[in-house]
Amino acid sequence: MRRSFRFTMILLLFFPLFVLQGNAQTVIGEFGNYKITLNDFENAYARNVGGWEEAKKDSFNQYKDFMELYMRYRMKLRNAQVRSYDTDPELINELKNYRQQVGKTYIVEKTIIEPGIKKLYDRRKEELRVSHIMFRPGKDGDQASLDLANAVLDSIKNGASFEEMAKKYSQDTFSGPSGGDIFYVTAGILPVEFEDAMYSLQPGEVYSKPVKTNYGYHLIKVTERHPRTPKIRASHILISYYDDNKQLDSAGAKLLADSILAQLKNGVSFEELAEKYSDDKGSASKGGDLGYFERRQMVKPFDEAAFNLKVGEISDLVQTNYGYHIIKVTDRQAYPDFESSKADLKKMYQKQRFDADYANYIDSLKSRYNYNLNQETVNLIVALSDSSKFGTAYPKPDVIAGKVLFSCGGTEVSAPEFIDTVNQITEFIGKPMYNKDEVMKAVNKLSEEKLIELAVNDLDRTDPDFAALMKEYRNGVYIFKLQEDEVWNKLKIDSTDIYNYWSQHKEDYKMPEKISFGEIFSTKDSLIQLYYKDLQEGAAFDSLAGLYTERIGKKGVKGLYELQDVDLSDLTREANKIENPGDYTRPIHTSAGYSILKLYERQPARSKTFEEARAEVAGDVQSNESRRLEEEYINILNNIYHPVIYYDELHKAFTEKQN
């Protein structure tokens, strides 16, 4: 129950915060010297139900019930303040840990992911046709490739044809022969460095410098740029180059395709001609329908022709390696709204560019908090480590004592602190401290954590939404602590209390009527009728069930259902209609087939014994006592604060906002 309470409080915190204008001065409740305004109530209620529009739909009685609970909540918070919970070391530590856990997630979501997927969404509204010239790195490194890329780029700037340079120099064997054309692309597909460069260009422009990716250096040119259609639906008629005897006959194919095109222009049904003539048998039976597809899913000539058609238009002949196509576009998918795209965009973003954006964010924190790494200390840690690994004692702690490894935000992290911390991190335990690359991975990990911690500590001051989130969580922690002090820690229930309660309320704890029965099941009416005939002729029910029942898992137990509540399922309800144990039904229609049911045993409803009811009774006793203690505590608060609710003013809730 305690965990459930805490979890519910935390869930409520993640509803959006609604800062409402007006209603700030209208007082709808008072307790002691404290006031509750209509604005306070509306904000709390809207958060609880998921927004202002949802809140407007509710009735006054719902507002009234919530206000009474909200009054209790506010009195409890004041009582927590009186008890100095804000100075309780245990609560302070819990809030600090929560701030760090939630703060990092909050920063990543709000500062990196949300802007990142919005940018991706906006970019994907367009598609670009792009060409590139690629220079792969050589065995001796990147420099020779970069020098050649710059030389070719200079030639292009001085008037050389990009396309001719691509044919001559590009090491992308797929696009090079076609002048570097990689066809139509959109955001989320190519490496981030390439994508950022291409989206900075207008048609006809070449990027000002070589762009480095994991594949090498690229010279980039954009040849087209226009709004993107995510998917189209199209049908086609394919006339293969090969005749019915598998002999190549491209001239015959062309003549047939031309004749079909002429018929289409004369108004003959596309679907009928596709079904009659198309050599794509998979789509021919559907009138040539290929369904929806995106760019680059079809071969290039087909793709280009199809995406240039309007809905209802029919193409001229389109030639591919498969033969001659006649294409008809039947639908074009509109670009989806942002909310419906978020889940897919987030997956795409995290796969493609989250790591780069996260690294850039860490670099910005290094600048903001004056991060400084002492390379001499790194080298010293490595040099003195001998054969030590993380997770073990450092061999020469005295030598590195007092050595600063890095500093940021006015604090310093020493070499011993670094080693002690990393020795507790699972991913580094067993990694060699004598390997500088491994040490630097650990340094970067710890540096990131310290920088994020500094950023989180600033959130209360710089981000109102986060400050409000932390305030709500703090209030939830205080309420939880009050429940512990005033209710849960005071619960004293023993076996005598449970037994006495059961003795007084025996009739409330019932064991329902139960039956055990057998079933012969078949999916076929004809078979179930044969089994019924066998039963009438004297065959044993359980023997037939063991041989023939088709219910999964029931053949091995001869169709037996052990004692079950008569209202457990449709099957038990049917079996319960049998009057006497030993009787069986005629074949009846049941879920997915036909059944014959036989009643074996009936246990009438009865009161539970104490042992049978013990756990249920204990829960009821605890729940009743918790309610009593809660009301006792609320009465104490009422006597201290004398709360008053002004219901006439509450009627103004979620009406037009006051000026």
Q: What would the pLDDT profile of 28-50 be if each residue is shown by its tens digit? A: 999 999 999 999 999 999 999 99
Instruction: Say yes or no: 452 and 356 in one domain.
Output: yes
Choose the weakest-confidence range: 9-18, 47-56, 416-425: 9-18
- Kindly state whether residue 583 falls inside one of the protein's structural domains: yes
Average pLDDT over residues 463-478: 93
Give the pLDDT of residue 245. 85
* Average pLDDT of the residues in 647-658: 84
Residues 319 and 383 in one domain: no
- What are the Cα distances from residue 310, in Å, to 287, 314, 315, 331, 392? 19, 9, 10, 8, 69
Note whether residue 405 is domain-resident: yes
Question: For 371-406, what is each residue's pLDDT tens digit?
Answer: 999 999 999 999 999 999 999 999 999 999 999 999
Q: Quick one: pLDDT band at residue 566, thresholds 50, 70, 90?
A: very high
- Does 211 share its domain with 254? no
Same domain, 451 and 535: no
Residues ≥6 apart with Cβ < 8 Å to 357? 112, 116
Evaluate if residue 165 carries a pLDDT over 80.
yes
How confident is residue 657, by pLDDT bands cut at 50, 70 and 90? low
In the beta sheet, which residues pair with residue 127?
Answer: 226
pLDDT of residue 6 exceeding 60, the answer is: no
223 and 239 in a single domain? The answer is: no
Specify the pTM: 0.72
> Taking residues 160-175, what's their average pLDDT?
97
To which residue do tokens 């069930």 refer? 545
Q: How confident is the model at residue 620 (pLDDT cuts 50, 70, 90)?
A: very high
Instruction: Read off the pLDDT of residues 320-375 as tens digits, 9 standing for 90 and up.
Output: 999 999 999 999 999 999 999 999 999 999 999 999 999 999 999 999 999 999 99
The answer to whether 112 touches 353, Cβ cutoff 8 Å, is: no
| Euclidean distance between CA atoms 115 and 105, whole angstroms | 14
Q: Of 125, 116, 191, whose CA–CA distance to 342 is shortest? A: 116
Q: Do residues 220 and 251 both lie within one domain?
A: no
Give Cβ neighbours of residue 213 (< 8 Å, ≥ 6 apart).
191, 193, 194
In whole angstroms, how far apart are CA 322 and each of 175, 237, 262, 302, 469? Answer: 21, 11, 21, 10, 61
pLDDT given for residue 25 in this prediction: 84
Q: Does 34 map to a domain?
A: no
- CATH number, domain of 584, equals 3.10.50.40
Tens-place pLDDT, residues 91-148: 999 999 999 999 999 999 999 999 999 999 999 999 999 999 999 998 888 999 999 9
Task: Return the higher-pLDDT residue of 80 and 20.
Answer: 80
The percent of residues above 90 in pLDDT, for the chain, comes to: 92
Q: What is the C-alpha separation between 161 and 166, in angstroms, rounded?
A: 9
Alpha-carbon distance of 654 to 62, in angstroms, equals 12
- The single-letter code of the amino acid at 414 is S
Position 447 pLDDT exceeds 50: yes
Assess whether pLDDT exceeds 80 at residue 517: yes
Q: How far apart are CA 28 and CA 567, in angstroms?
A: 49
Q: What is the pLDDT of residues 79-90, one digit of tens each?
A: 999 999 999 999
| pLDDT value of residue 24 | 63
Pairing verdict, β 411-414 and 34-37:
unpaired
Measured between alpha carbons, how far is 5 from 246 in angstroms, rounded to an integer?
74
Residue 444 has pLDDT above 90, yes or no: yes
Res. 622: pLDDT tops 50: yes
Is the pLDDT at 181 greater than 70, yes or no? Answer: yes
> What is the distance, to the nearest Å, from the Cα of residue 64 to the centroid of all Cα atoms in its chain?
36
Mark which of 227, 256, 283 sits at the end of a domain.
227
Helical pair 436-462 and 415-422, crossing angle rounded to 10 deg: 90
Q: Residues 22, 52: contact at Cβ < 8 Å?
A: no
At which of 332, 364, 388 does a domain end?
332
d(CA 206, CA 192): 17
Residue 11 predicted with pLDDT over 60:
no
Do 220 and 311 fall into the same domain? no
In a domain, 472, yes or no: no
Which residue segment(s) compose the domain that 219 sits in?
A: 126-227
Q: Are 52 and 18 in contact (CB under 8 A)?
A: yes
Task: Report how many domains make up the chain.
Answer: 4
23 pLDDT band, cuts 50/70/90, is: low
Do the domain assignments include residue 182?
Answer: yes
Tell me whether residue 81 is in a domain: no
Q: Is residue 241 domain-resident? A: yes
Structural domain includes residue 71? no
Residue 119 burial (C-beta neighbours within 10 Å; 0-12, 13-18, 19+): middle
Burial of 166 (0-12, 13-18, 19+ CB in 10 A): buried
Q: Are residues 222 and 237 in the same domain?
A: no
Q: Which of 183, 211, 227 is the last residue of a domain?
A: 227
Please check whether residues 205 and 237 belong to one and the same domain: no
What is the model's pLDDT at position 3? 38
Predicted pLDDT at 656? 65
**Is there a single domain that holds both residue 355 and residue 451?**
yes
Amino acid at 386: D
